[in-house]
Structure 1
Amino acid sequence: MEQSDEISVRSSNLSRKIIAISAGEAHTLALTGDGKVYTWGRGTFGRLGTGSEEDRSMPVQVRFFGSDDEREEKLKIVEIAAGAYHSLALADDGSVWGWGYGSYGQIGATGENYMVPRLLDGFFGLGSPSSSLQDYETKRGKPLKISSVKAGGMMSLAIDDIGSLWMWGNCPHPPKTGLSEGELELESSPAPVPVWDFHGHTVVKVACGDEHVVALVSAGEAYEGGDLLCYSWGVNSHGQLGLGDTESRWQPAMVETFNLESPWEVYDIACGKSHTALLAQRKRPSDTLESVCWTFGLGDNGQLGHGTAQDLTSPEIVKGLPESVFLVSVDCGLFHTSVVSSVGEVWSWGMEKGFGLCPDARYFGTEAGDALSPLLVPCNGLYDPQFPEPLQVACGAAHTVLVADSGYKLWAWGRGRSGVLGNGKNVDCYVPTLALWPLLSEDFKEGEASNVEQTERVENKTPEGSAQADKRLSEAMAEMQLLQSKLSLVERYASMLHGSIFGRPLQDHEIASLQETSKFDIAKEWEAMLESSDQRKLAHLEMFYRNMLAGVKDKLMKKRIQEIVKECLKSPATTRTE
């Protein structure tokens, strides 16, 4: 296919193009160019929006009204956000939808979990201590409409179309009587509350962690470029507010590193559990492109990327990232951070080699340990080491997702249990692996539609043929899912067996490449594996063999003892009978 033809096909097929991703604790959301939302990963609390708590190891479409409802096709989602255990979606008409864990009111309902998307109606009927919503709407001259949404640990945020910020869920609130200086109280609220501190200014971007918020706000009434100020508030026990101390704030405070006199302008922000990462560029153009990453807050797992495990209360530039390239995206997991550059280089740092892997899913031996400085994550494929045309990176608690190839490919790595990586498997991956995108069902539908069309042209079949085609497609998909389930089970078993022998899960490059011939010489492959193994692997193998051999001998001895005991017990009984 000619390059121009390929571009034409891509531009006309927005259903395959991912324009945004967002990662929660163990689930991921993806938004396509035609306004549809797909999700996969852990289903607990209904965070996937599929109507159940079932895990999904492959992307599945989120239905807001139902496949048979004509409103489903008309609804177009323009933004998505994943909290720890809940999800948000913003439609082009300004409506906000939420689903998943709702105990703190983060999906706009009082203490309830929702398995399917529900429309938030809490943006109406709100007031403020100094004015009513009617006064607010009179000043703005039009009804309230949301233009952006964000989600953190147990809170949700939204920006309306005139740049006002709203919060709901487990949010910082004014302290009650009895709290000492520096203490902060978080209060749950299912109804969105306006942040009046920014009244008269425009909130351009916002991010939140478990209990802190960072926002980019215009210095004047409207954003004119180059005049953004950075504010933060919430819990500050590790300096995650970047204010030079560890005192918590319930009101926004300016991060002085990025005041109006600063040579740096922040253009992207991200929050982990207790740390913050910012991307900034020089305000004044220079001969060399300067795009840098700043981090501050909790650093005990290296998530700040400064070569130490110390906390930082003020922003510092991360060293070791490529120079003279533009950093297009940054995101934070619980204890790791990732950035991607315009040339397709992905860098990660923090817990367990920058994967964010929890203690029960770590490397073993000499390869174990947290990454205190940025590590390059290779593409590990055709484009290695760079990823083609990257768009965005998103970090979950222990997994990372990258959308690249102009939105037509997804890579994921890290913790894979519960189908978190979207590759149809449930195993951890220590190198980037392609997620199952675009959906196989779409390929089946296109192929089936083509076959049906050709058949109808030749045989002049009635519409019943289409129903039969749908039935065949459904049966084929069911069979494919069953085979995929069996394959995942076998791969998981193989990985567990490999881990018990060598002390780490099975990697893709360690799998023997089967030739087209159906014959597989296991003795030859075993010899080749032994030949390529280093001393550490051979030591693991020897120990495993000894333990296995000892276990077999022990079991044989126990079996023999049981037989002897049975014979001894049987003999007296036989004598008495005689």
Structure 2
Amino acid sequence: MVSAGKDHNLALRRDGTVWAWGRNEGGQLGDGTRESKLVPVQVKGLKDVVMVAAAEGHSLALKRDGTIWVWGFNSDGVLGLNEIVTHCEVPLKVEGLGEIVSIATNRYLVFALRKDGRIVAWGERRYKHLCGDIDLWDKRKFIIIDKLEDIVAIALGENHAVALRQDGRVLTWGVFEYDLWRENKRIFPVLIERELLEDVRMIAAGYKHALVVKGDGSVWAWGMNRRGQLGDGTVVSKVFPVRVRGIEGVVSISGGGWHTVAVKEDGSIWGWGFNYFGQVGSRDGVVREEDYVITTPVEVFDKSFFG
């Protein structure tokens, strides 16, 4: 699987190791340095990983034993560590959590889906509208989000959240100017109409865009599109889902700040959107000016790259 942060990406190999590329000012690549990389480097000290999540300046990994590991910038305690820690260049374990089956993060907030279907959250207080507008909020402590049932996957954008139910239906909430109902703020989850989205198998959220993969392997997206992150060949933002052009057979998808990354059935990695920092990727390690904005999917690493 892959996960796209604002300007960096994470890729999970079949052997349970994690690889990263892109911007690295806060150590979000997890390779023990703060130097940006155009080609993937291995995250240090991680194995048995089953899921990864990247945000603006930090990264998360979920291990097979249900524990969460974090690295990068610790803005407002988003890593769930002691707030004295400003950043970490290698993964550290978040204490006090277990039986986690899915993770999601944005710049200042983390969602962790428990085995019992409930969501644990922590992070910056100004994002409490994503947690049911909870009054008692301490960014140093974990809270439980109610009013959600039968959830199998979660995703976080900058100010909006997306959840996938067992029946293939999608819910959204938060502050999102590209809301399907043209209402900027929804504190509690709302189900997207079946006519617009159904038979969804995977979800993802970028800074101000959202994506789904349907049962037939097609990818659909909506939201901000100023850098081509929707992949429909334009830079026009969309309120309703549009099909991403030129890609199918997708088995993993992730939205970054202004870009999107996907993995196909054959193991190849594809990307589109803003590529100024090489966050989409480059097969030859060079990012040219004409590749700063990519409006349709391109293959950036073939199936042999990660073994």
> Shorter-chain-normalised TM-score: which range?
0.7 to 0.9
Residue 292 (str. 1) matches residue 218 (str. 2): yes
Aligned to 1:24: 5
Shift of residue 216, structure 1, vs aligned partner = 0.2
**Residue 127 of structure 2 is aligned with which of 172, 186, 195?**
172
How far, CA to CA, are the matches of 2:203 and 2:116 in structure 1?
20
Q: Deviations over 1:273-314 (max 9, x none)?
A: 111111123xxxxxxxx4432211112333334454333222
Aligned to 1:326: 249
Shift of residue 341, structure 1, vs aligned partner = 4.5
Residue 146 (str. 1) matches residue 71 (str. 2): no
How far, CA to CA, are the matches of 1:362 and 1:269 in structure 2?
30
Shift of residue 114, structure 1, vs aligned partner = 3.8
How far, CA to CA, are the matches of 1:79 and 1:348 in structure 2?
19
- Once the two structures are superposed, the pairs formed by residues 231-242 of structure 1 within 5 Å of their partners are 231-237=171-177, 239=178, 241=179
Q: Deviations over 1:111-167 (max 9, x none)?
A: 4324243321244xxxxxxxxxxxxxxxxxxxx511222233332221111222222
**Residue 77 of structure 2 is aligned with which of 93, 105, 120?**
105
- Once the two structures are superposed, the pairs formed by residues 337-356 of structure 1 within 5 Å of their partners are 337-339=260-262, 341-342=264-265, 349-351=272-274
Shift of residue 347, structure 1, vs aligned partner = 6.2
Distance 1:341 1:43, change over 3 A: closer
Q: What's the secondary structure of 2:26's corresponding residue? A: helix
- Once the two structures are superposed, the pairs formed by residues 206-225 of structure 1 within 5 Å of their partners are 206-218=154-166
Q: Are the equivalent residues in 1 in contact too, given 2:2–2:253 (CA < 8 A)?
A: no
Aligned to 1:44: 25
Residue 162 (str. 1) matches residue 116 (str. 2): yes
How far, CA to CA, are the matches of 2:176 and 2:53 in structure 1?
24
Q: TM-score, normalised by structure 2?
A: 0.77
- Once the two structures are superposed, the pairs formed by residues 248-327 of structure 1 within 5 Å of their partners are 248-257=185-194, 264-281=198-215, 290-318=216-244, 320-321=245-246, 326-327=249-250
The structure whose RCO (Cα within 8 Å, separation 6+) is larger is: 2
Q: Are the equivalent residues in 2 in contact too, given 1:104–1:110 (CA < 8 A)?
A: no
Q: Are the equivalent residues in 1 in contact too, given 2:171–2:192 (CA < 8 A)?
A: yes
How far, CA to CA, are the matches of 1:90 and 1:356 in structure 2?
22
- Once the two structures are superposed, the pairs formed by residues 470-509 of structure 1 within 5 Å of their partners are none
Q: Are the equivalent residues in 1 in contact too, given 2:121–2:143 (CA < 8 A)?
A: yes
| Higher fraction of helix | 1
Residue 195 (str. 1) matches residue 169 (str. 2): no
| Higher fraction of strand | 2
Distance 1:307 1:89, change over 3 A: closer
Q: Which residue identity does 1:205 align to in structure 2?
A: A
Q: Percent identity?
A: 29
How far, CA to CA, are the matches of 1:80 and 1:47 in structure 2?
12
Q: Are the equivalent residues in 2 in contact too, given 1:229–1:258 (CA < 8 A)?
A: no
Shift of residue 214, structure 1, vs aligned partner = 0.8
Q: Deviations over 1:20-61 (max 9, x none)?
A: 443434444444445444445544223244555355666245
**Residue 258 of structure 2 is aligned with which of 327, 330, 335?**
335
How far, CA to CA, are the matches of 2:162 and 2:263 in structure 1?
21
Q: Which residue identity does 2:94 align to in structure 1?
A: L
How far, CA to CA, are the matches of 1:62 and 1:280 in structure 2?
34
How far, CA to CA, are the matches of 1:339 and 1:30 in structure 2?
10
Q: What's the secondary structure of 1:302's corresponding residue? A: coil
Q: Which residue identity does 1:299 align to in structure 2?
A: N
**Residue 87 of structure 1 is aligned with which of 34, 59, 69?**
59
Aligned residues: 293
Q: Are the equivalent residues in 2 in contact too, given 1:214–1:230 (CA < 8 A)?
A: yes
Distance 1:216 1:341, change over 3 A: same
> Greater Rg, structure 1 or structure 2?
1
Distance 1:335 1:77, change over 3 A: closer
How far, CA to CA, are the matches of 1:38 and 1:336 in structure 2?
18
Q: What's the secondary structure of 1:256's corresponding residue? A: coil
Q: Are the equivalent residues in 2 in contact too, given 1:230–1:258 (CA < 8 A)?
A: no
How far, CA to CA, are the matches of 1:189 and 1:153 in structure 2?
14
How far, CA to CA, are the matches of 2:228 and 2:22 in structure 1?
26
Q: Which residue identity does 1:172 align to in structure 2?
A: Y
- Once the two structures are superposed, the pairs formed by residues 337-416 of structure 1 within 5 Å of their partners are 337-339=260-262, 341-342=264-265, 349-351=272-274, 363=289, 370-372=293-295, 374=296, 377=298, 402=301, 405=303, 408-410=304-306
Shift of residue 328, structure 1, vs aligned partner = 2.8
Distance 1:39 1:172, change over 3 A: same
Q: Are the equivalent residues in 1 in contact too, given 2:9–2:279 (CA < 8 A)?
A: no
Distance 1:87 1:331, change over 3 A: closer
Aligned to 2:284: none
Unaligned stretches of 5+ in structure 1?
1-19, 65-74, 124-143, 176-182, 219-226, 282-289, 380-400, 411-437, 439-578
Aligned to 1:428: none
Aligned to 2:44: 62
Residue 96 (str. 1) matches residue 36 (str. 2): no
Q: Are the equivalent residues in 2 in contact too, given 1:104–1:188 (CA < 8 A)?
A: no
Aligned to 2:283: none
How far, CA to CA, are the matches of 1:48 and 1:349 in structure 2?
20
Q: Are the equivalent residues in 1 in contact too, given 2:154–2:161 (CA < 8 A)?
A: yes
Shift of residue 82, structure 1, vs aligned partner = 2.1
Q: What's the secondary structure of 1:84's corresponding residue? A: coil
Q: What's the secondary structure of 1:173's corresponding residue? A: helix
